[in-house]
Structure 1
Amino acid sequence: MTSTTGTPADADRALKARHRSMWASGDYPKLAADLLPELGDVLVRACGVTGGHRVLDIAAGSGNVAITAARTGASVVASDLTPELFDAGRALAAAEGVELEWREADAEALPFADGEFDVVLSAIGVMFAPHHQAAADELVRVCKPGGRIGIISWTPEGFIGQLFATMKPYAPPPPPGASPPPLWGREDHVLGLLGDRVTDVTTERRTLTVDHFDRPEDFRDYFKDVYGPTIAVYRSLAEEPERAADLDAALLDLARRFDRGHGSTVLDWEYLLLTATKRREQVPSPR
């Protein structure tokens, strides 16, 4: 009998196709513009990006970080597994009068040469690659020796980390070998991924204050309509209305627990900001 089991490469391609479809659903460019605009400036400033630098933004989405870096005069490549997001990014860049390159790319297998970039950045991006060590290895590989690395990731304890924890019981099980995205927001985890290949490491937990929503219900409904991972979970519950209603209640409870507003909803979203320098001497991967 001939086996119908696919190869690991087939499974990985299928997984990446699902990820691409998930992020293409909803309207991530709207979410980035509404809720995350300041993160690009935070990361670009933290890494000291200036004109003359060659910069890669990994999992760039619609270019929140990449466009900010391009404003400095740097030569910027925005890469993402989901090129459906690029049209919105190109429109934003054109409106600001900046130019950059847009490249479809898997964060775990980047189509760039070793040491090609002076600065490698990712804000709320590389953390969603399912195989953390592979993504970290690529991030370090394409950075030149002595170059800068900057990463922003949601923490497990923060609001978005808890959003994923809230959705987990309702979502299909993750594929074998995939790691939870918010682990990138733990200092010990990300330092273990980078290993001794970097030096001058700084980590800082910061807070993004989100006051876009009038009520906790507005947060829940917005994420159901706009945010790919939330949309994917609800789609998996299409034949289970009672569980979908339970998830509605759980997301509402999450927003109420974090809400510190008076008269309108104010949410603090904790993230980890990490910057580092790639060592000039070669150091093996921590695998």
Structure 2
Amino acid sequence: MSSPTSTGTAADADRALKAKHRAMWASGDYPGLAADLLPELGETLVQAVGVTRGDRVLDIAAGSGNVAIPAARTGASVVASDLTPELFDAGRARAAAEGVELEWREADAEALPFADGEFDVVVSAIGVMFAPHHQAAADELVRVCKPGGRIGIISWTPEGFIGQLFATMKPYAPPPPPGASPPPKWGSEEHVRELLRDRVTDVTAERRLLRVDMFDRLEEPRDYFKAKYGPMIAVFRSLADDPDRAAALDADLLDLVRRHDQGSGSTVLDWEYLLLTATKRRETVPGPR
């Protein structure tokens, strides 16, 4: 049994970790990156889970609403939740421009402030995968979905470009906190099935490619991410006093782009992701403890 002191220490460590994550995603310009590169993923996920008018939908780790806004366009009642509310302003502006309404809620994916079975549809695209404790996030995702409700998740695969981007940064980054799991593991069908266990049925999983062709020179994807992408910004900040290692990471990232480039005369990258859908069992099975 944990002592009050050890329990308090763990809670303090978790709050510090979540504050660090919030600051990381608030840095750079993730809403701009999502608008530039990821808009089709929102539409893809909304279609995959069949969001329709009258559904109550939760988008977990919604960011600036890449899934939530297309879901709201269907006439569904949508809640966009995220640990980093600094991302909401861009989402609210986009929603207003499109004439759709939805609710924006600050929420930790590992401790959602919603009732059991509150939502008909629970989704997350390139979102819940970044919660550090995968089982806790998966348990919450299932908990807030009603029995018979639909679940849809899009995650970068470990083998794809973004998964390999994280693998490239890992040797240069500070060590992860105890118990944290690598985000791209959510891109493994086996891993997600293990997280959801027999609490869901009708699981479908498909690897797909997102083509990114907005860059010309090989250096441009790396430099774009250095300016806009919170996880990469955090790694380079940690190397601020070590220019040699920062230069080595620059070179490794350029090599990563070169290996994945499909273009001829411009840089074309195919980013692999896993699209997984499932239905929550009508008779729920308790999650692991």
TM-score, with length taken from structure 1? 0.98
**Aligned match of 2:276:** 274
**Aligned match of 1:41:** 43
**Aligned match of 1:99:** 101
1:45-64 correspondence to structure 2 within 5 Å: 45-64=47-66
2 CA distance for matches of 1:44 and 1:5? 40
Q: Which runs of 5+ in 2 are unaligned?
A: none
SS at match of 1:191: helix
**Aligned match of 2:235:** 233
1 CA distance for matches of 2:124 and 2:138? 11
1 CA distance for matches of 2:159 and 2:251? 20
Match of 2:184 among 182, 185, 191: 182
1:61-72 correspondence to structure 2 within 5 Å: 61-72=63-74
**Aligned match of 2:204:** 202
1 CA distance for matches of 2:260 and 2:284? 44
**Aligned match of 1:149:** 151
Q: CA deviation at 1:4?
A: 11
2 CA distance for matches of 1:37 and 1:138? 26
Q: Is the 8 A contact 1:224 1:231 kept in 2?
A: yes
Paired amino acid for 1:105: A
Q: Is the 8 A contact 1:192 1:286 kept in 2?
A: no
2 CA distance for matches of 1:102 and 1:20? 16
**Aligned match of 2:161:** 159
Q: Which runs of 5+ in 1 are unaligned?
A: none
Q: CA deviation at 1:282?
A: 1.9
Instruction: Please tell me the root mean square deviation across aligned C-alpha atoms, in Å.
Output: 1.2
**Aligned match of 1:170:** 172
Report the count of equivalent residues. Answer: 285
Work out whether 1:32 is the aligned partner of 2:34: yes
* Residues 24-83 of structure 1 deviation map (CA, whole Å, 9 limit, x = unaligned): 000000000000000000000000000000000000000000000000000000000000
1 CA distance for matches of 2:6 and 2:135? 29
SS at match of 1:275: strand
Q: CA deviation at 1:286?
A: 3.2
Aligned-pair identity in percent equals: 85
Q: CA deviation at 1:5?
A: 11
Match of 1:285 among 281, 284, 287: 287
